[in-house]
Amino acid sequence: MYQSASLHEPGFLLGLSYKQWNIPVYSFRTFGNERYFVVGINWEFSYDRSSRKQPVPVIVQNP
């Protein structure tokens, strides 16, 4: 089994949003000489199921 020592790196997060787009920027080791950044691009969407056809109701008759 692979094991490694836990590592905690404090940093900063800055996020920008415009309509359905989000751009997070993470900064680690911000005040050190070996700083690095992680940038993401996210697009949010939703699927509207109400526009689909509704099922036809079943009519049950007593014999």
Residue written as token pair 């056809």: 53
> CB of 26 within 8 A of CB of 38?
yes
Per the structure, how many domains does the chain have? 1
Q: Is residue 31 part of a domain?
A: yes
Q: Which residues form the domain of 37?
A: 11-47
Residue written as token pair 């800055």: 14
- How many secondary structure helices (H) and strands (E) does the chain include? 0, 4
Q: Is residue 35 part of a domain?
A: yes
> CB of 20 within 8 A of CB of 41?
no
Q: Is residue 61 part of a domain?
A: no
What is the structure's pLDDT at 25?
A: 97
Q: Is residue 53 part of a domain?
A: no
Q: Is residue 52 part of a domain?
A: no
Residue written as token pair 């050190």: 32
pLDDT (tens digit per residue) in 30-60: 888 888 999 999 999 887 766 666 677 778 8
